[in-house]
Amino acid sequence: MRTANLHRATTETDVQLSLNLDGGEARVATGLGYFDHMLMQLAKHGGFGLEVEAKGDLHVDSHHLVEDVGLCLGDALRQALGDLKGIARWGEAHIPMDETLVRVVVDLSGRPYCVFQADLPKITLGNGFQVEMVREFFIALSMRGAFNLHAAVLYGDNTHHQVEGLFKGLARALKQAVRVQGDALPSTKGTLTR
């Protein structure tokens, strides 16, 4: 089973997260409606089972909660992938949402690196989700998940479309990369460094 269950508790947040790379229920409750919507997009379009229950110091802002969910999801992804044998390793997606076009490319290489190119406005969506936290979520996810993540908004005007396109693109790229297509390690080095 390609699954993981994690609990992360700090003085700022408390995150319970479970991930199944091969599907299952999706239930998300973070106290940030827009962020819940994005995580549900990730689960739906990635074909993942994902359950997240998170609480945090939202009276401060959304930073700690969003980043910690990203850290937990990265840890869960790495745990669920196991020894990485047989995975496709790479994935990419171009996602159009009306006037917006987004590109997301991943390499589950064991080497963490994030390039995030999106000129998103510093505004709040929904009930307290700071748009600048999208970048922090992607960085946290790739660092803890130990993979290359390149995400770019190629063009667009509507902030909701841009952010949702990024999450859907991430979902589709990860769906390709985690799929099992054999039993060999996808590397000529004989290892995927972690």
Q: Is residue 183 part of a domain?
A: no
- Going along 78-125, which residue ranges are E strands? 90-97, 100-107, 113-117, 124-125
Q: Is residue 157 part of a domain?
A: yes
Q: Residue 74 is part of which domain span?
A: 3-178
pLDDT at 193: 65
Q: Is residue 187 part of a domain?
A: no
Domain CATH number, residue 11:
3.30.230.40
Q: Is residue 189 part of a domain?
A: no
pLDDT at 42: 98
* Domain count across the chain: 1
Query: How far does CA 3 lie from the centroid of its chain?
Result: 16
pLDDT tens by residue, the chain, 194 residues: 899 999 999 999 999 999 999 999 999 999 999 999 999 999 999 999 999 999 999 999 999 999 999 999 999 999 999 989 999 999 999 999 999 999 999 999 999 999 999 999 999 999 999 999 999 999 999 999 999 999 999 999 999 999 999 999 999 999 999 999 988 777 767 777 65
135 in Cβ contact with 5 (< 8 Å) = no
pLDDT at 88: 95
pLDDT at 186: 74
pLDDT at 183: 82
Q: Is residue 149 part of a domain?
A: yes
pLDDT at 194: 54
128 in Cβ contact with 61 (< 8 Å) = yes
Q: Is residue 191 part of a domain?
A: no
Q: Is residue 150 part of a domain?
A: yes
Q: Is residue 119 part of a domain?
A: yes
